[in-house]
Amino acid sequence: MDVSAPVNAPWLVVGLGNPGPEYAMNRHNVGFMVVDLLAERIGGKFKRAGKAQAQVLEGRIGPVGPANRRVVLAKPMSYMNLSGGPVNALRDFYKVPLGQVVAVHDELDIDYGTLRLKLGGGDNGHNGLKSMTKAMGAEYHRVRFGIGRPPGRMQVADFVLKDFGSAERKELGYFVDRAADAVERLLAEGLERAQSAYNS
């Protein structure tokens, strides 16, 4: 635990993705989709964050009572492979300890729609995580949203920058909703309980 952080420091929940309408439905943008849904649940709108190259929304998540959490939802506007700079700037501004940062991102090595929550670890070739870890260290939480591997000989870069397929889109809303639930559970009840509920 970061003893220099204020006891009432908010959680910083970062959706990873690329800005712009042409990327909106890409597999690589599922992190944006999840934090957009969390923003809907809070009932607020994202705004440009001062000097940080990001959009943010401040609010509260979780049930009324001790499990209710202050949260800053964030979408870096720097493109995926430069996510670390904006996230670290937000962390400094809001005085968020590294253990209260959550990255929501797509994960190739997990079947489509499957979730895995963890603390720390490698980046598994994910450029957004690579940039975040370089900027501030690896000991932040991850909500990993499975997108599966590319079919045939399709290149990974092409696969993640394509929109979800028509069959995938039929279930996408349900899976995004479930990922948002997992973030809420993580903040309210901690990693172990969230893992036991969502790591299938």
Q: Which residues are catalytic?
A: 28
Calpha distance 122→120 (Å, rounded):
7
Residues 156-191 as b or e (16 or more Cβ within 10 Å = b): eeebbbeebeeeeeeebeebbebbbbbbbbbbbeeb
- Alpha carbon dihedral 132, 69, 177, 195, in 10-degree steps, equals 70
Residue 184: name the closest of 66, 60, 89 by CA.
60
Strands 47-48 and 54-61 come out as antiparallel
Cα separations in angstroms, 122 against 46, 65, 118, 167, 195: 29, 35, 11, 31, 18
The letter for the amino acid at 167 is: A
